Amino acid sequence: MAGLEGAAFQSRLPHDKLTATEASCFPDVAQSSTHTQKLFLYIRNKLLMLWLENPLVQLTFCDALAQIESPYNSDGPFVMRIHAYLERHGLINFGVYNRVNPLPGQSLFIILKKTGKVIVIGAGIAGLAAARQLASFGMEVVVLEARDRVGGRIATFKKNNYIADLGAMVVTGLGGNPIAILSKQVNMVLHRIKQKCPLYESNGTTVPKDKDEMIEKEFNRLLEATSYMSHQMDFNSINNKPVSLGQALELVIKLQEKHVVEMQCRHQRHIIELQEKLKVNLQQMTEQKLRVEELYKIWQAASEVKGVRDITAEFAVRSKQRDVMAACREFDQLEAQQKEIEDKLQELEASPPSDVYLSSRDRQILDWHFANLEFANATPLSTLSLKHWDQDDDFEFTGNHLTVRNGYSCVPVAMSEGLNIQLSAAVRKIKYSDAGVEVVTTHSRTNSNATTYSADAVLVTLPLGVLKEVNSIQFVPPLPQWKTNAIQRLGFGNLNKVVLCFDRIFWDPHSNLFGHVGSTTASRGELFLFWNLYRAPVLLALVAGEAAMIMENVSDDVIVGRCIAVLKGIFGNNSVPQPKEAVVTRWKADPWSRGSYSFVAAGSSGSDYEIMATPVSYVDPNTNINSNNISSISPRVFFAGEHTIRNYPATVHGAFLSGLREAANIANQFLGAPYVLPNHNQTFNSNNNNNNNNLNKLVGLNNIINNNNNFNNIISNDDNNVVDLINYSSSLSTSVTMHATNSSDIKISDRLINEFVVPTNSSNNNFIINAASSVYGVFGSGSSSMYLFFIVLLCYILL
């Protein structure tokens, strides 16, 4: 899918209609004519396409406007708003890309003083995505990370030529996936995973393909049956307790086994019925035979009378003969019935129903498929919600599944560049009030060096497992009950890996996967799947379900020894050498994760992801909250992470998207939304000549600035003080200050400010702020000196 429609698809948007978010952000468009909505959609899709064509460089407003065809570019402010919306919400200009540089010779930058500092807790992919976005919006950001590295549950083992991902490792399709953009921005070596997966039994024999396909088909039928039970029969609880997927599956299996017994009973009853029929038929045949013999004797005696028979005697003889013939025909019919019954009996006895629903071997193979499902959800099936476990299935991306051959950690490492990240800083307390937040940290290993960070807001991207842990982090005041209830309801599972590094390859190098069928249901997740993904001779074994928890308490030597025993059982004793290196993960025991990823637990639902994403505001217990003042309460504690995104949970892309989402929410809360009209009832008029003329002047500044070698002469060297420049808009509530990065930097003089300062009641203020803020990216929102210069020049143009 290419073009405008493909750009919308890749951005997870419908190409031909506004989303609910767009409708709320652009009420003027949503309430306008179909023509205006089509204009919006064309411009939106065009901007998306321009960004996707070159995600290595920031798509500025001016560059975008120059590439939009007439007449779609005739309403510059309208295009500006859409550009600002897409940038703010992380649909363009996200990830790792080159921001447009400041003017040559200038090292000026802007600090947003008014409520512009954010603390991000956690340097996983969600925290890093949010931090980069917030920094690009001009906010001051500090990232606090308890580990001594970035990435969180993205962790790559590297030693010599060996490489393996200990956490996240699979890209689940690129169609609609933001990782597709990151893969172009970062040096990600993507490799398509071949889905062929031969299964080996414990004795080394391969499960026949037809047997595997038959059991897999039955596995899918079981899932369909449980779905029917839940959604059609509303069988979701027993004695007011929620039913898990595991319970439902075992119940269906028992019902199938009961059905098998019933089939056997029916089979035996059918045999008995046929035997009774055969018995009756034989009796009738015996009686009929005697009758035939008797009638034959009568006919024979009558026909042996000597002499000429009169007509009466002849009639009697022929009558007796007819009776014999009729009796013989009845006997023949009974004989045919006997053969028919005997054939049916022979057929039933030759093809009896199965003695069991699943043989022990069939159950072992089915358990392998169950283990694979437990791997996908990082939890035993007995803990999954029957009704909601697959609630995100409709949002799966298209395309092949891929792995990152140079290690997934290349992404968070690249995203961390340029950010203020404090490593080994374990958060102990988060205090929030209507004035801001305070976060207390200590050194993660020594628990010393207590440090307090203050900010306007905090973004918590801690794993759900950490939030679940009692007293791991103290919230002051405590989180509201609706939040803690969701934390407890939603599940957080466990999945572990064993990395085995060898000196040579002894497996099929052309297969990426091979499975090991366990001998018992209880151990089905133990080393059930081996991955061959990297160029070096490395195997990665998975431990899922109940086995993942059990093996956390077993030593590395025992686990590695068990791996080697399994591999020798498959490939032979003489084929498997001892590994040169081995790594065993224990994500549940890791204090900074307490597990692998979230799942919808029994008793939970997809709505809990949305509750997890909802920010928390400080509410003074002495304040009477009502509908009139609740909107004035500003959230202070925001949440991101894979456990906060309903459509894409338990994934890297989900965590990444949640970071973009919360960056937009925080920026809109504390900086204002640059795409929102000052008066929501006001709509842009495509024939508004004043706005268009202003935009033409604004766009033309690009050439003016680039060609102005005397720009330094405009700026005075006299003033060494940091100067508050402007506070234009109540919608943005932003003060802009320019200062120097060193003593030799150029400062703005009071003379220039006084010369261009705009009265706050100016009728042009709203346009100035919206325009200047939206074109934060004209030369790059990183090029903050351009933002200031544009404000000043806009004042000059419009006044």
Q: Is 226 labelled a binding residue? A: no
Q: How far is CA 740 from CA 67, 557, 791, in A?
A: 35, 58, 19
Q: Is 132 annotated as a binding residue?
A: yes
250 known ligand binder? no
For residue 269, say whether it is annotated as part of any ligand binding site: no
Distance CA 604, CA 331 (A): 72
Q: Is 169 annotated as a binding residue?
A: yes
Alpha carbon distances (Å) from 518 to 370, 527, 559, 571, 695: 11, 8, 15, 16, 69
* Annotated binding-site residue? 123: yes
SS3 letters for 204-257? CCECCHHHHHHHHHHHHHHHHHHHHHHHCCCCCEECCEECEHHHHHHHHHHHHH
- Give the distance from CA 260 to its chain's centroid: 39
125 is in an annotated binding site: yes
User: Is 411 one of the annotated binding-site residues?
Assistant: no
> Is 565 within any annotated ligand binding site?
no
User: Is 399 one of the annotated binding-site residues?
Assistant: no
- Is 140 annotated as ligand-binding? yes
The interaxial angle of helices 245-303 and 209-231, nearest 10 deg, is 110
The CA distance from 603 to 387, in Å, is 9
Environment class of 569 (CB within 10 Å of its CB; exposed 0-12, middle 13-18, buried 19+)? middle
613 annotated as a binding-site residue: no
Q: Has 182 been labeled as part of a binding site? A: no
Would the annotation count 130 as a binding residue?
yes
Round to whole Å and give the CA distance between 344 and 354. Answer: 18
> Residue 657 annotated as binding?
no
767 is in an annotated binding site: no
Q: Was 771 annotated as part of a binding site?
A: no
Tokens of 354: 């199965």
Q: How far is CA 28 from CA 34, 156, 626, 717, in A?
A: 12, 48, 29, 46
The answer to whether 540 is a known ligand-binding residue is no
Closest-CA residue to 374 (of 241, 525, 519): 525
Q: Is 435 annotated in some ligand binding site?
A: no
The verdict on whether residue 642 carries a ligand-binding annotation is yes
181/57 Cα distance (integer angstroms)? 12
From 259, 234, 331, select the one nearest 289 (Cα to Cα). 331
User: Has 752 been labeled as part of a binding site?
Assistant: no
Q: Is 651 annotated as a binding residue?
A: yes
138 is in an annotated binding site: yes
**Does 128 carry a binding-site annotation?**
yes
Find out whether 105 is annotated in a ligand binding site: no
Annotated binding residue 153: yes
How many angstroms separate the CA atoms of 288 and 333, rounded?
A: 11
Give the pairing of strands 162-165 and 156-159.
antiparallel
The answer to whether 144 is annotated as binding is: yes
Query: Does the annotation place 168 within a ligand binding site?
Result: no
Nearby residues of 431 by Cβ (< 8 Å), 6 or more positions away = 437, 438, 439, 440, 475, 476
738 assigned to a ligand binding site: no
Q: Tell whether residue 619 is among the known ligand binding residues.
A: no
* 321 annotated among ligand-binding-site residues: no
Amino acid letter, 544: A
Please check if 146 is assigned to a binding site.
yes
Evaluate whether 769 touches 732 at the Cβ level (below 8 Å). Answer: yes
* Strand intervals (E) in 548-685: 581-584, 598-599, 616-617, 635-639
- For residues 572 and 537, the answer to whether their CB atoms sit within 8 Å is no
What lies within 8 Å, CB to CB, of 211 at 6+ separation is: 362, 365
Q: Binding site, residues?
A: 118-147, 153, 169-170, 642, 651-652
Query: Annotated binding site for FAD: which residue ranges?
Result: 118-147, 153, 169-170, 642, 651-652
